[in-house]
């Protein structure tokens, strides 16, 4: 019975950390200003596609929902395989490795697939801004993994842009 309690307690701790990661992971970008977005010429413009806005939103939201699920499962597997505690020095020590080996590949795949999906005609700049904010958030997460794990607002900008466009699944 004590082992069951400890397993449930560990699962609860991992679940809490996972919930924080999922909220952050789904969001998308940092808290940059409009001028910071405009000044970032390193972000390639997303090309137009033949999808209607409705069809684009359906495909993009499904993609982001799948990414959230992959991130959740990835964290649980990583936490179990690496005996990651829900807090403390053990969590701190594993944050960078988790961000590098689990979160970054999954989230970069989402970014790449969104870019490949393209944007509805006339919305290229909006989708480019959302993806740019996601890329900045990912870069900040890699640079500051412990802060990312502790729910730093690296993805606030993309979350706001995603929600405004109708990409609710690409947000927290």
Q: For 31-56, write each residue's pLDDT tens digit.
A: 343 433 443 556 678 888 889 999 99
pLDDT in tens, 118-132: 999 999 999 999 999
Provide mean pLDDT across the span 2-16.
42
Provide the pLDDT confidence category of residue 172 given band limits of 50, 70 and 90. Answer: low
Provide mean pLDDT across the span 61-89.
90
Q: What is the pTM of this model?
A: 0.75
| pLDDT for 87 | 75
Token pair belonging to 82:
């690496």
| pLDDT for 41 | 53
Cα distance between residue 171 and residue 42, in whole Å: 23
- Position 14 pLDDT exceeds 90: no
Query: Could you tell me if 20 and 149 are in contact, meaning their C-beta atoms sit under 8 angstroms apart?
Result: yes
**Phi, psi of 137, deg, nearest 5:** -65, -40
Task: Tell me what percent of the chain is helix, strand and coil, each rounded to the nearest 5.
Answer: 75, 0, 25
Which helix or strand (DSSP H or E) is residue 30 part of? none
- Position 69 pLDDT exceeds 60: yes
């Amino acid at each position: 019975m004590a082992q069951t309690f400890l397993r449930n307690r560990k699962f609860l701790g991992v679940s809490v950390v996972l919930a924080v990661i999922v909220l952050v992971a789904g969001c998308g970008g940092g808290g940059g200003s409009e001028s910071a977005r405009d000044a970032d010429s390193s972000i390639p413009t997303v090309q137009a596609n033949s999808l209607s806005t409705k069809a684009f939103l359906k495909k993009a939201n499904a993609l982001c929902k799948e990414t959230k699920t992959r991130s959740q499962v990835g964290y649980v597997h990583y936490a179990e395989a690496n005996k990651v505690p829900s807090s403390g020095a053990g969590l701190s020590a594993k944050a960078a490795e988790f961000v590098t080996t689990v979160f970054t590949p999954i989230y970069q795949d989402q970014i790449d697939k969104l870019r490949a999906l393209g944007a509805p005609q006339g919305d290229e700049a909006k989708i480019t801004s959302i993806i740019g904010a996601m890329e900045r958030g990912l870069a900040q997460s890699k640079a500051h993994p412990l802060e990312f794990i502790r729910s730093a607002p690296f993805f606030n900008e993309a979350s706001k842009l995603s929600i405004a466009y109708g990409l609710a699944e690409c947000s927290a």
